[in-house]
Structure 1
Amino acid sequence: MLGTVLGVSAAAAVAGPAAGLLGYRQVKRASLARRLHITAPGGIDEAGFVRIGGLDQYVSIRGEDRRNPVVLELHGGPGASNLVFAPRTRAWEKHFTIVRWDMRGAAKTFGRGGPAGQGEMSLRRLQSDALELTEHLRARLGVGKVLLVANSFGTFVGLRLARGNPELFSGYVGTDQNIVAGGRDLPSYRALCERLRESGKRKELAAATAMGPDASAWSAEQWSQYAKLVVTSDPLTYDTMKTVVVRSLWFSPLHTLRELRTYFKGMSFSEQLGPEAMGIDEWAEGTAFQIPFFLFQGDRDVLTPPEPARRFFDDVTAPVKDFALIRDASHFASFRHPDQFLDLMLTKVRPVVTGQPIAA
C-alpha cells in the first residue's frame, strides 16, 4: 500500500545521494550498529535465509534472553520489512525475542529470488508460509507457542492465523489493525474526501471521487493511489513517514544502498496483493478467538483508523481481550512511539501469555 509513497519520499536520495550525505549515513549507521550489539550470555542474534514454502526467506531472531516470550512479527506494506526499525525497537529485545521475517515479495527475500523467484503471491500463500515458519521457530527456539504481533497489511494474515491455530500461538496483538469490512469502510474514505476538499486539493479530490468508496472494486494501482492520498493529506501521517519510516530506511545498519533499492522494488511488486485484501469481511470470517486478543491502535491513525478496529474488537470473544490507543500516533504507531507500545506489551500482554507479573 505504501510503496508508492515511500518511493516519492526516498527514492531520489537512494538513487543519487550527495557525498556529504553518504558520509553522515555511514557514521550514523555505525552508531546504530553498535546499539544493536547483543552481548548478554543468554541472548540470541541470528539472521539468514530459511527455506520456507519452497523459497529462501530471510529471518532475523534477536533478544537478550532466550527464556523470554518469542514474538513473530508480521510486517505491513505489503513488502515493507520491519527489519529497518530494529534500532528504534532495541528496548523490546530485553523483554521479548523478536523474530522479523521478510515475507515473499519483501526486501531481502525479494532480493534473493527476484520477481520471478517469489512463487505464488496470495494471502493464502503468506498464511501457509507463516505456519511453516512458526514450526521452524518452535523447533529452533524450543518453545511450544509464539506470540503473534501483526501490523498494518500483516494484520490481514495475522487475524486468520490467530483464528485457526490456537495450538501454535499464545496470543494475538494487532497494531495499525486493518478492518476493511469487505471494502465498505466508508468513514475513512469520506474523511479523506473531506480533508482534500478543505485543503482545496481539487485534482486529488477528483481522483478519490473517481475511485469510489468501494475498496473491493479498486485495482492495485487505485489501492496504492488511495494510500498516497491518505498519507500526504494528513500532516501527522506524512511527518511519521518522513521522520520515522524514511529515516529508519536511510540509516538502517542492516541494509546496503543496493538493498534499499531492492526494498522499494519489492514493495511495488507486492502491491498485487492489495485487491485481494480489500475484499475481506472480518466479521464473516469470524469474531471468535481461542487465544488472548489485543488491539493497540494509533489514536490519530487515518489510514487504519481506531474506530473500525474498536467496532470489531467489541464483537470479538476471546479468553482475554484488551484495546488501547497509542497517544499522538498516526499509522506506524508502534514505531513512532516504541516506548508506549512496549509499555502496553509489558503491562497487558506479557503477563497474560507468560502467566507471570512484570518483574520489578
Structure 2
Amino acid sequence: MTVFSNPGVHFQGYLTLNGIQQWVSIVGQATTNPVLLIIHGGPASTYSVFTRATQLFSQKLTVVHWDQRGAGKTYRKQPVVPKSLQNLVDDGIELSKKIKQLLPKVPIILLGSSIGSITANLMVQQAESLYTAYIGTEQMTRFSHQYAFNQLMFETSHRFLKQNWLQKYPFNADAWSAKQIETFNIFSALQKTDVDNMVTNLFIPNLLQCPSYGPQDYIAFAKGMIVSYNSLHTELDTFDYNRLLTETNLPFYIFQGEHDPITPTQATKIYFNQIKAPRKKMIIVPGTGHLCMFARPRYFIDKASELRRLVLKK
C-alpha cells in the first residue's frame, strides 16, 4: 500500500486482517508524529465518519480509523460479523503490527472509546509492547450502568418516565436483561438535553457529511450495527469487568465527558483510582456527554498534546 505523501501520511482502503478485508484510514501531516489508533464503540459504530475532527487531530497525531469486522465499509465489503470480542482484539492487534511495519520508529497511542474501551483494554493486556500509551474515552466499567441509572433517576424531571419506565427496572443494574440495557442507553442519551446528543448532534450529521460515504455505506453502517449487536450483545452484557486491567507499564489517560449519561464520571473515577501506572491522568471534558472527543475536538487535542510530548521523549 502507498501511504506516504510529502511530508505526511495518507491512506484510505482495505487491509487484510486475519483473513478479512477491513477498511482503514490513516491521516497524518508528519511521519514522525505519534500514531493515534482509535478503537470505535458500538459495537459497529465506526468513527471514520468524524472527518472534521480527524483533520484537526492529524496536525499533531497520525490518526488511524478502523471499521471493525462487522462495521461500516468493512461490513459492506463482506457481511462477516465478529463471533466474539476476541475476534476484534485479534484484528486490532494484527492492525497494530501492520502499523509498526509501516512506521517502525513511531509510538502508538491506543485509544478505546465506549465499548471500544473494553476491546482496547484487552489489546493492551495481550500485546502491551506494541503500544506506548493508553487513552480511554467513555471508559466502560462494571459500575457504569448502575451509576447511569442512579443519575437518571435523580436528575430526570419527567414524572411519566419515572413511573412508567425507570421504576420498572430492577434497581440492581447487574440484574438487567440485554434488552433493558439497550433500551436504557437509548433513553438516557435522549434525556440529556444540556449536552450534544451522540446520535442526533454527532453521529448523524457527521455520517451525512462524510465525503467518503454514500447511500450504500449508510445502509451497510445501519445493518452492521444491527448484526454486530445481535452477535455480541450476550457477551457484552455479561462481560466480567474484573477482566479489565488494573496495572500497566503504559501511561494511562482517561478523557471523560462531564455529563456523560451512559458512562458517568463517578463510575469512571472508581475504575481510574484502581489503576496502577507509571503516569495516569483523568481529564474531564466540560459541557460534553458521550463521545466527548468529537463533541469538543479542539479541547481533546489540546489536552492530548501533553501525552504526545511524553511519548515522543521515550
- TM-score w.r.t. length of structure 2: 0.91
Distance (Å, rounded) in 1 between the aligned partners of 2:271 and 2:109: 21
Indicate the SS of the match to 1:236: coil
Encode CA deviations 1:255-302: one digit per residue, 9 max, x unaligned: 002211211111112213233223334345441111110001011111
2:148 paired with 1:188: yes
| Contact 2:33 2:106 (C-alpha < 8 Å) held by counterparts | no
Q: Please tell me the root mean square deviation across aligned C-alpha atoms, in Å.
A: 2.3
Q: Percent identity between the aligned chains?
A: 25
| Contact 2:38 2:112 (C-alpha < 8 Å) held by counterparts | yes
| Contact 2:46 2:72 (C-alpha < 8 Å) held by counterparts | yes
Shift of 1:53: 2.1
Shift of 1:192: 2.4
The 1:268–1:244 alpha-carbon spacing in structure 2 relative to 1, beyond 3 Å, is same
Matches within 5 A, 1:240-259: 240-259=198-217
The 1:205–1:163 alpha-carbon spacing in structure 2 relative to 1, beyond 3 Å, is farther
Distance (Å, rounded) in 1 between the aligned partners of 2:195 and 2:237: 21
Q: For structure 2, which runs of at least 5 residues remain unmatched after alignment?
A: none
| Contact 2:145 2:263 (C-alpha < 8 Å) held by counterparts | no
Matches within 5 A, 1:265-284: 265-272=223-230, 273-283=232-242
Distance (Å, rounded) in 2 between the aligned partners of 1:50 and 1:40: 19
Matches within 5 A, 1:128-277: 128-143=90-105, 145-181=107-143, 185-196=145-156, 198-202=157-161, 206-237=164-195, 239-272=197-230, 273-277=232-236
| Contact 1:218 1:275 (C-alpha < 8 Å) held by counterparts | no
Indicate the SS of the match to 1:235: coil
Distance (Å, rounded) in 1 between the aligned partners of 2:151 and 2:112: 25
Shift of 1:146: 1.5
| Contact 2:40 2:114 (C-alpha < 8 Å) held by counterparts | yes
| Contact 2:68 2:74 (C-alpha < 8 Å) held by counterparts | yes
Q: Say which one has the larger Rg.
A: 1
The 1:144–1:251 alpha-carbon spacing in structure 2 relative to 1, beyond 3 Å, is closer
Q: How many residues align?
A: 311
Q: Which residue of 1 aligns with 2:298?
A: 339
The 1:208–1:52 alpha-carbon spacing in structure 2 relative to 1, beyond 3 Å, is farther
Please identify which structure carries the higher helix content: 1
| Contact 2:96 2:130 (C-alpha < 8 Å) held by counterparts | yes
Match of 2:310 among 325, 337, 352: 352
Q: Which residue of 1 aligns with 2:7?
A: 42
